[in-house]
Amino acid sequence: MKSDSLPNPQKTFHVKSFGCQMNVYDGERMAEMLGAEGYVAAADGADADLVVLNTCHIREKAAEKVYSDIGRLKRADGSTPTIAVAGCVAQAEGAEIARRAPSVDVVVGPQAYHRLPGLIARAERGEKAVDLDMPLESKFGALPKRSGNQRPTAFLTVQEGCDKFCTYCVVPYTRGAEISRPFADLIAEARALVAGGVREITLLGQNVNAWDGEDEQGRAIGLDGLIRELAKEDGLERIRYTTSHPNDMTDGLIAAHGEIEKLMPFLHLPVQAGSDRILAAMNRSHSVDSYLRVIERVREARPDIAISGDFIVGFPGETEEDFDKTMKLIEDVGFDTSFSFIYSRRPGTPAASMEDQVEEAVMNDRLQRLQALLNEQQQGFNEATVGRATRLLLERKGKHDGQLIGKSPWLQSVHVTAPGLAIGDMVDVRVTSAGPNSLGAELLMEAVA
Ligand code: SAH
Ligand code: SF4
Ligand code: F3S
């Protein structure tokens, strides 16, 4: 359906998303919506009529990048496309963005992007259009239905927002309070994706394991109940979820890892630090011990599960002794993959005004030591996969002729030479080699036959 608010239906657009997977999902929904409004996708921002920068505010570097990106959108003749800044920087900085970067026409927050067409129309009339509402009615109902995305894997946002208020983090301010999307909407969206050829769905939320809802019979269910229902869908082969908070790892969800075959053996469970004193100052509301206990129980339920973590080094007040405890926790858990960051002081968060901010050089040194250990663990995990028979979902073409790249159940990228096979196929392989970031494999004979 075309809205009459857009005067020229053949304009081109480009959406560029930064930050987390939820932003990637939002960017896809924006693109689908603009498509439904008659816009045509342009491969590149430079020659599009409309550019949407879907931004991330999590660390200073990510947030500042927006302004250099806006600067680059100038064309040879000095003109600029219509520029919309969406996402978490939009929510955090609001109208200030258009003041700092006058070429910005639209500023729209993560809960209001379903109103983008109307905002663009206002911008085309020469107004600066800013919408940072977090409306009670959810944007999801106003967006066009999913069309399936021609790819074998898809994201599906099931939960948004955060009520945890870790003292370093902007997300509760940029995304708002925790909400769970209704069960029936999620089943419908998953079915549309599967009908469009999707074989793996990753359920998303800032605290995805805080999802709750009611099933068709009106029974209260948690994320494990949703996963159980989704697993019944024919054609859907794999289910993943991210990101989880340790305190929301319910008994049911832990048990689901041992019971639901389609639920992949991978858990991303950020811990941030290994010192209880720092965890308390971060307001994480879990301890080192409670985190270790969750990991232990998940491994009991699913012994081969891969564990992934997030870490922050240099939180205010972090001493060498605190940092050693983080290294100890890493040794104790053994992370199969991970993300680690230097603490970034974010305006408006409680930690930004804490005393004892750690010096840059100290943070850099700690990050290097931390990453050396984490990289070693990741390499060790990848090497331990060599020789294993496993199944891949082929996701994209590799560099060489006949080469395809798929994902293992443990989310590793695996290269395989498989002439005659296509993206979207599932194939049995044996892993033959391991690098730090990817594996090599050969087809199992059965698969060729
Ligand atoms: N909801 C998730 C992840 C949110 S943001 C969770 O609870 O963990 C993703 C990661 O960014 C976080 O896990 C954290 O490691 C990192 N992060 C968030 N704020 C940060 C900051 N101010 N400085 C550095 N890293 C940060
Ligand atoms: Fe940020 Fe903490 Fe919420 Fe994660 S749980 S989004 S780190 S406030
Ligand atoms: Fe960034 Fe917002 Fe995601 S701040 S990490 S895009 S929730």
Please count the CA atoms within 13 angstroms of the CA of 308 that sit on its side-chain side.
15
Element housing 40 (H / E)? strand 40-41
Task: Give yes or no for residue 312 CB within 6 A of ligand 1.
Answer: yes
- Ligand 2 test: best mutation among 88, 165, 209, 286, most atoms within 8 Å of CB? 165
| Nearest bound ligand to the CA of residue 206 | 1
From the CA of 311, the nearest ligand is 1
Nearest C-alpha neighbor of 439 from the set 407, 409, 396: 407
State the pLDDT at residue 97. Answer: 94
Query: If you take atom 1 of ligand 3, which residue's CA is the nearest one?
Result: 56
Q: Is the CB of 162 under 6 A from ligand 2?
A: yes
Residue identifier of the C-alpha nearest atom 6 of ligand 3:
56
Q: Which amino acid is at 251?
A: D
**pLDDT beyond 70 at 153:** yes
CA distance 6 to 20: 30
Going by C-alpha positions, the residue among 16, 21, 19, 36 that lies closest to residue 411 is: 21
pLDDT in tens, 224-278: 999 999 999 999 999 999 999 999 999 999 999 999 999 999 999 999 999 999 9
Expressed in angstroms and rounded, the spacing between residue 317 Cα and the centre of ligand 3 is: 25
Average pLDDT over residues 444-449: 57
Unique residue bearing structure tokens 């509301």: 285
Digit-coded pLDDT (tens) for 36-74: 999 999 977 778 999 999 999 999 998 889 999 999 998
357 is in an annotated binding site: no
Asked if pLDDT for residue 445 goes beyond 80, the answer is: no
Which residue, 271, 269, 307, is CA-closest to 286? 271
Q: Does domain 12-131 have CATH number 3.40.190.10?
A: no
Binned at pLDDT 50, 70 and 90, residue 150 comes out as confident
Atom of ligand 3 nearest to the CA of 22: 3
* Both structure tokens of 251: 């008994």
d(CA 242, CA 262): 15
CATH architecture of 389-443: Beta Barrel (2.40)
Exposed, middle or buried, 94 (CB in 10 Å: 0-12/13-18/19+)?
A: middle
pLDDT category at 1 given cuts 50, 70, 90 is very low
Q: Whose CA is nearest to atom 13 of ligand 1?
A: 310
Q: For residue 428, how far is its CA from the centre of ligand 1 (angstroms)?
A: 36
- CATH topology identical between 145-264 and 298-384: yes
Q: Is the C-beta atom of 209 inside 6 A of ligand 1?
A: no
pTM: 0.95
| 423 Cα–ligand 1 center, Å | 33
Give the tens place of pLDDT for each residue, 238-247: 999 999 999 9
Task: Find all residues with CB under 8 Å of 245, minimum gap 6, and list them.
Answer: 164, 207, 209, 210, 270, 286
| DSSP one-letter string for 83-94 | EEEEHHHHHHHT
Which residues have a Cβ under 8 Å from the Cβ of 65 and sit 6 or more positions away?
Answer: 18
What is the rounded CA–CA span in Å between residue 443 and residue 297?
A: 34
Which option is the CATH number for 298-384: 3.40.50.300, 3.30.750.200, 3.40.50.720, 3.40.50.150?
3.30.750.200
Q: Which atom of ligand 1 is nearest to the CA of 170?
A: 19
Q: Give SS3 for 13.
A: strand
As a CATH number, domain 145-264 is 3.30.750.210
Residue 389, Cβ density class (10 Å: 0-12 exposed, 13-18 middle, ≥19 buried): exposed
Count of alpha carbons within 13 angstroms of residue 302, beta-carbon side: 23
pLDDT, tens digit (0-9, with 9 covering 90-100), for 343-385 = 999 999 999 999 999 999 999 999 999 999 999 999 999 999 9
Question: What are the domain boundaries of the chain?
Answer: 12-131, 145-264, 298-384, 389-443
For residues 209, 213, 216 and 220, what is the CA-based torsion angle, rounded to 10 degrees?
90
DSSP bridge partners of 153 = 200
Q: Are the C-beta atoms of 260 and 304 separated by less than 8 Å?
A: no
Q: How is residue 255 written in tokens? A: 């048990």
Q: What is the DSSP string of 112-150?
A: SGGGHHHHHHHHHTTPPEEE----SS-GGGGSPPP---S
* Closest ligand 3 atom, residue 170 Cα: 4
Tokens, residue 63: 């947030």
Answer yes or no: is the C-beta of 204 below 6 A from any ligand 1 atom.
no
Give the pLDDT score at 96: 92
